[in-house]
Structure 1
């Protein structure tokens, strides 16, 4: 039982622990794009904290792009002083708010965004101290502030007037230049007279869905209201039948939408165009259901010659939309134009030529509105104008049956002639033989402005344009006249000519010369005259034939020109018309046998064969080439009365010259798999048999994601050209060569990941035609799939701790070396130096960064700005990154760490980090100069009389730095153990201070750089005592200024000051003592000498036999110590 209870207790404990919540803080995902000046709202909520109904406290902070490592406090729900200065005023003015939506969620709002608000906004949940849960207490939202580029305009007059039932068309221009992907919605609004709110007419939402306004929905479904988008930025509103209730102000409103990362759409800005006022007049009542009401209105009834006449015709009837009408405009009994019930425009004979020149235009511009424009008007255009409408009923066979016509009231148009003396004169009757050239001359008089001419030819009852010559001298050939050899010229100021080559009987017609006078691009006057032309035919026939008209390059072609007719001397001309309409004269065979060549004489051979029924002229083309392709004709003229008269032009015979079929065959490896950074060779070979003159051009293309990029082209003369899309750096890596036979090799050095894909070898075979020109056959291609794989990463740095000690002011160099890694052009490195100060709170702060794109950056840090200004980053080799510190300061001491990241481009051309390694730490200690000051410390004693002087020396024997400065202080001490007293100070700034107040004269001396002295004059007995100096060494510090680095004290000088009598007595005593000492020394010396003489004599007496032996050691070798063998 106890075991069961224990198990139950354990289970309950585990259940309680497993039920602890995990904190989750969420806010809107970014980036959020908002327009400058618009509002911003970010929601933030938290879950997982205890007390679901307990209010949670939130804080909002922001990190700006310029300083990503520094957060700025914005607002807090619990602390009113939370905001930094940059946001405190806006928070106080309630421009920035943070409101609780529920106990666990808040809404952060900025009323008007500023450009500087862009950054990473962070929502932080304040965790109560008494509760600790795992999870996230913050969430970030990136906000981008963009410019407002939306523009809306309504290009129409500010006031419009229409009749009830008329059609209204308005155009609104709306566009945006926002870089981000946005959608526009546009709506038309009507603010009726006397009402404050505007009514939506129709709108096109961001998904291109049309939505009619509530009060216009019925008319929209009936098709009476339409909104069309014309192009990128034009929105056209069309209201087919205006109602009296439509009167008011109409404007368009555009909204710009963006899709947030949560897939919701948000309006970032909206603008209204300037409104236009619409007046709607009540319509006339139609008498009965079958009647038509026709009205004509003229914008301006009194005109001058050259101006525009605008005739508006309005037709009203019951059920007009269900009826067919034909509407015509008339001047008196002359019909200008008619719009048929099918919408086809027909123009009266008198105005057809003016309609072709664009002077007359007519169209239906609404359900009841028809408009005709005539410009420029002439004096003969004046008179009474009518509109005539006729109902049309469709019969069972589909044909229209005209009903009773209704005519509007007349409208008188007066056109006054401007002063002009323009007159035109031309020969009224002209005759010309068939084959000859027609030349018409039009004389002009009374010219003031610029002139243009139009030559027309009457076909049945209307005139057709042949050719025109504008006032700027531009010639325009119309319709069938192109290619007929027609020309218009102005050989003199008052003369216009028309020339038509090789006329035929069908050219007989009435020709009209219409001259117009222009001023400032407006036609002000026009005059015309006609001439009747008759072409007399010549009875002859010319026929051109060929047995073979389609040949391959190099084959021969024979053409035969058969001339039948009277036996008269003839001249034959062979003509070639190319496909581009150019005419080439090959040769001319004169009636007297002379031949004049215009073409290549080596290409053609001429032959003549006389027959009873005519003459056959043959033209042989030797080895045809594409330049001889075209349409051949022979032209025959009769030589009569010493004049060549054109007889006839033969039919055309087309000669086609084809290229031979290509037999080109290629081979290349279908697949290659290689490592990145290796050299790759792709071979493409021609395996088919070549023609005798074959040469090859090769193009290599790189195919990725369905797109081809030209790498390089090798033309037939071996000239290599790189593709325009190939980067300059890639041109150093890619090359091509031709190996043995007909093989072409593409070499890619140091292959990158971006080189992966399909490589297309496209070969074009070139052949030489008989004339020496080269032509190409259709290209053939082969594809090789290149797969690049990445070798394993092996980035390693030289690791290990280093300790560097430097003197202040020295230059320090820290070295970070790559031990192993890739060094190909496709691999790039980013290096960052991290610093931690010894005596400062700076920890793991980035000093300097050199990114993989070569951009050098110094992260913002006020405390390290001086150190960053003395840094120099160098890369002497590919594997070395050196950091130099110039003029090291003591405060630079700390640890440095080198962090290296390896980057490489992926298939999409994006940079990817492949590896990251760190080296260090490098410990740097910067010291000031070492303490090495030394002063002479000799102890001396000196007796001096009151009338004498004594000098207290102070000598510095060792100086550590040439920049040192000294401060010397002399002290006096009555005797050892008694407090010392300063008597004189020589400061380091050359200021002297005498601190002896007894009135003794002190003299300071500085005979050498390191020697100082103080002389005391006329001392008194009470000045006896110990004298010494104290030296302070001062050095300049780069970070602290001048500082005291060492203090040394000299030895003591004991000075006894006596009166003059005491001095003489002391001197006498000292003399007697010295005499006694000398006598004692002399007696001792005589005694020692006597003892030595006695000893020598005894030695000579006992050892006389060995008197010749020397006492030097080399003559008396020492015996070795006896050993065990002795």
Structure 2
């Protein structure tokens, strides 16, 4: 019955389907093409049986030149079952049966040999009460020679590379087979991150058996592949070998570890499932990625302290080292300044050089074209002030933000690391400037509401060279404090009313109720006029003077010298018309009151008299 045809068994099964189960043994459709020297696994399952759930299996081999003679390979119930060619291989475990369950097993060849080619039959000894169904099934195995080749130059030599460096690995592979097989190539790293464990491996990117590029599993490799940071390209090489090149545009510390290249040969079995029939792996070297936080160095020159003559040029240089070669990382270079040479005060940005090459200056640092910021060479940036002014003194630092692997980062991209240089103290030798400001109100009649108020500010400057004065007029008023505080408490409010710049430009800063003008009436004398002054224009007035000097290049700059005058009180009296209005209002009110009283009295008396006349006698 073991040799009976499958078709006859099916007919017999259908005849007994109502009365009994029908045993069926199943193996894959053939032929199966496998490569010598690599594993072979043939599954076999039995269904529709009676008896115990754990079934026995016996495997036979019918070689092509055996003329139908069978050769026992292995049995699950008889240790003496294998024929002589298989006895040693079965004892060593090279040929074995692995159970998936009680009624499903696999015949496994650890290393297939050319002489293992033939038809393999899976037989299940009967445990049924009646002998019905098919008790065996067979599949043909074709053994093809191993032609899989792989090679790779060992480009990783163990030297640490900085974070953000480009990694490029190549691997060559080829296979020559008469059968239609496909080749896949995978690049990966063993261990987890910087771990040296070899028990795990991470596939980075591959060209799979269907010739599609596939990134490794996990968000990291998928995202980097989608962003174009990891690529794999196939090209034609020498000697019939195809060359596979993996490129990582910027490595990160987590990329550290031993790298490998793996080539696999695949074939499509008759059941439509792809099977890996050969595989070779090759170590390409160990990668150690040094974090930028450890390798980046930022230095500025000159170092320590530098003194510059007023109007002389000032040049500061920023040196950036520890970056990966090739310029694959974007740099944002900023010059920062603390406003005093003692290191106190607020740090502010002077200028910046963006990764896209655009230079921007702080608004009051543009200096009318009196400075520049340039990239002199890779990793070397200079800040030049063509004519140094007193406002340029302070402590300068170069701050560098690195975007590893992103030459032109997006506006929301976070920097990989930011580092600053030591401070450079810049002192300016300036000429001595003395300034004095005196505010006064010209003598004249008493000021009344609606009059024009005139205030003068006399400024005297002692210095060498050209000088100009910028004058500000300050208005001080007394206002009550916030609610909830002592009602008798008041505070002084100071606001800039108007100013006259050193180049003669007047500015009005306050929403004053009166019209205001400022001008210079003579050298050293500056005038403030308030037309049609009102009550809210009263208070204390102060003038403040700042001296501007001129450098050798003719550029005006603020010397920092300033002076403030004493207070001048402005009080407005009432006008004569306003004084006449008071008795007029009082008189009208009094007359109206007297008239009402008289009318009321007369009316009351008249009504009483009229009532008495009408009373009957």
- Report the TM-score, using the length of structure 2 for normalisation: 0.43
Q: Which has the higher contact order (CA 8 A, sep 6+)?
A: 2
Q: Which has the larger radius of gyration?
A: 1
